[in-house]
Structure 1
Amino acid sequence: MFSLSEDHRAVRAAVREIAEREILPFAAEVDENERYPIEAQKALETSGFGAVHIPEAYGGAGADAVATVIVIEEVARVCASSSLIPAVNKLGSMPIILSASEELKQQVLPSIASGEAMISYALSEREAGSDAAAMRTRARADGDDWILNGTKCWITNAGVSSWYTVMAVTDPDKRTNGISAFVVHSDDPGFVVGSKERKLGIKGSPTREIHFENCRIPGDRIIGAPGTGFKTALATLDHTRPTIGAQAVGIAQGALDVAVAYVKERKQFGKKLAEFQALQFMIADMAMEIEAARTLIYQSAAASERGDANKGFLASAAKCFASDVAMKVTVDAVQLLGGAGYTRDFPVERMMRDAKITQIYEGTNQVQRLVMARSLLR
C-alpha cells in the first residue's frame, strides 16, 4: 500500500503554486488560439518539473511514480494541454529507461532531464490503433544503420519534441515478435512532421502525423534487441497509463473547484445554489468519485514503481476509472453552471472537451476493460 510522504505533499504544493501563477493565466487563450503553451513549458523546465521521472544518473530528479502523477495532476487541474508536457516526456522516455542500452540512455535522457529537449511516443497508425500489431511502418538494417519507412499518427507534441520513440516492424513474419523500438531525432534525414490535427480538446498540445521517408538513423538507436519493441511498449503502458489517469483526475478536480465556487455565489429563487439539496448531492458525488479515482491512481503508480504482479491490471483500472470519472464530473460541472457553463467565459466547457480524450488515448477504455478481464480470467 502507498502513503503520501512529506516529499509528495511538498511536490504538490510547489507544482500547484507554479501552475496557478504561470500556467493558469494562459490556459484559456492557449485553448482559444490552439497554440502550444510555451509559458508552461518554460515554467516546468525552469522549476525542474518537466520530466521529474528521469533517474538521477542521467541528470533527472529521480522522482518516484507517485510524485510524477502528482505533478501531472496538478498541472492538469489548470490546463490539460500543459499537463501533456511531463506526461508525454514520461511516455516517450520510459521505453528507453526500461530497455535501452546504457549508451543510448546517456545519449537521450540527459537532454530531456535538463529541458533542452522533449520526447514523443510513436506507436499508432491510421490502420493500427488498438490493433497495434497491424502496423505497417518498417525498419531495415543497412550496414551499420537502420532505415525507416512509414507513417505514424496521433503523435502528441510532434513538431515540438526533438526525440521520438518509434515502433516499427523489422520482421513481418513474426507479428508482435517482429516489432522493434527505435529512437529517432527530428534532425535525422528523412524525418518529416505532418500537419496538425483539428481536435475537440487539448488544443494547446499539437497532435500530428510523422513520416519516415527512407529515414536513416544510427544502428545504436535501436531500443533493446530486434523484435522486443512490442514487449517494451506493453511494459511502458503499465507505467504510463496511471499518468493519463492523473491527468483525468486533475481535470476533474479543476472542474469541481470551479463548480463549488460558482454554486456558493450564484443565487436563484432567493437562495444560493449551494443551498439546494439536489445540487449538494451532485457536488458530493463528484467529490467522492474524484477521491476514489485519485486513490486508485496513486495505488497504481506505487504498484508500477514496485513492480507488483498486478501492476498491469491496476494501470488499466486506474486509467479507465479516472477518465470515466473525469468525463462525468466535467459534464456535471457544466450542468451546475447552467448556461454560463456552456460558454467559454468559464473553464468548465474546456475541461469537458479536454476530458474526453482521456477515455481514448493510451488505450481506449474498452481496451482497458479487455485487459482487466483477461488479467482476471487467465
Structure 2
Amino acid sequence: MKGKTFLILLVAAGLLLALWFFRVGKDEHTGQVKMGDKLFADLPVNAVTTVTIADSENKVVLIKGDKVWQVEGRNGYPADFDELRELVVKLSRLKIGRSFPASAESLARLSLMAPSSPDTSSTGKQITLRGASGEILADVLLGESRQTDSGEGGGQYLKKVDADTVFLVDGSFRFLKTAPAEWLKKEILNINAEEVKSVACYAGDARTPVYTLLRPERGETARMTPVPPGRTADQAKIDQVLEALAPLTLDDVQAADGKPPVVESGQARLVYHLYDGRQISIYPQSDDKERFTLRVTAEDSIADTPAADEPASQPADEKTPAETTEPAPETARQLNEALSPWTFSIKKWQFDSFITEPLSLLEEVKKDADGTS
C-alpha cells in the first residue's frame, strides 16, 4: 500500500473516530436516552409541593397546603386536585419516541421558546415542579403536538429547560390550562334534588317567605305555596329551583373578607332544608349585566332533626392530599366553614335557577281571542 493511500485511510479513520466520540459525548452531555425510556423516570412525584404552569399570557401557581392543594392568587381556595394529580403523573410516565438536538429554527418552529420570549408566536407552555425547599424537580417546555397522516395525535414535542435536546413523547398536554381561575375546584355543592325537603325564599330579613316549595312526603313532587287565585304553579320551574344544587359550580372565586352575607331590604335568599337536617342558604346577587355571584352558608335545622333511619352525615376520614382529593365537607358545620368565606362567580344559566320572584314560578295566563284572561 502506498504511503499516500495509507495516510488518507488513517485520516478518514481518525475523522470517523472523532465523530463517534463527539456523538457519544453529546448524548451524555444532553442526557439523551433510548427510545421507549421514560423521560422523567426519577421524578419524585410525592415530593412535589409547588407546580407552576405558564404561557405567554397567563401563569398559575398551585401550592400544597396543610390539607389541600391551593391556587395562589385566590386566597388559598382549593385547587382541582384530580386534574393536578393527573398532570404530574402523566409527566412522570412520558416515554420518548425520538430526540434530536435543539436549534433556533426547531425551537421556533415547534413553539418551544420560553413563555417570556418576545416572540410570542413561538412560545410554548412551561411546567415547573418544585420540592419543599424550593428545589426544581422538573422544568419542561411544552411545544407543538405532532399530527399523524390520519390527523390523529402523534405525541408532543418538549424540551427540558436546562438541556439542548428536543424530545417527541407519547403523551399530549394540548389542553393544559394556565389561568388561575381554570384550576379552581369547580364544584361548590352537589346535592340531589330528591334530598331537598323544602325551599323557602325570603326577601331581606323578613321572617315570612315570599314563597315555599314543599314535598308532602319524601319522593313526592314539591308544591308551591302560596299560589294566587286563578293561577297555576309551573312544575318545571319548581323542579329547576330544587335541582339548582346538583351540581352547583363556579367560574371564579374571591374572598368575602370575613363579612357575613348581606341581608338588606330587597336582597333575596333561598333556604334549602334537606332531609338529613342540614339547612343551606343561598344569597344570589347580580349587577344586571355580566356578573352573577352568590354566597353560601349552612347550618343544622332545628325544625328538621334527622329521623332514626336518616342519620346525619358523619365527617369523612382524614386523608392527606397525596392519598386522595379533599372530600367535600358533609356536615353543616364543615360546609359552612368551607363555603361561607367566599363569594362565588357563576354562569348566568345557573344563577337563573335560583328564582326569587314568585310570579316567575307560575304558568303564563292564557288569553282568549279577544285578549281577555
- Is the pair's TM-score, using the shorter chain for normalization, greater than 0.5? no
Structure number, greater radius of gyration: 2
Q: Classify the TM-score, shorter chain.
A: under 0.3
**Quick one: higher RCO (CA 8 Å, sep 6+), 1 or 2?**
1
Report the structure, 1 or 2, having the larger strand content: 2
TM-score by length of 2: 0.27
Report the structure, 1 or 2, having the larger helix content: 1
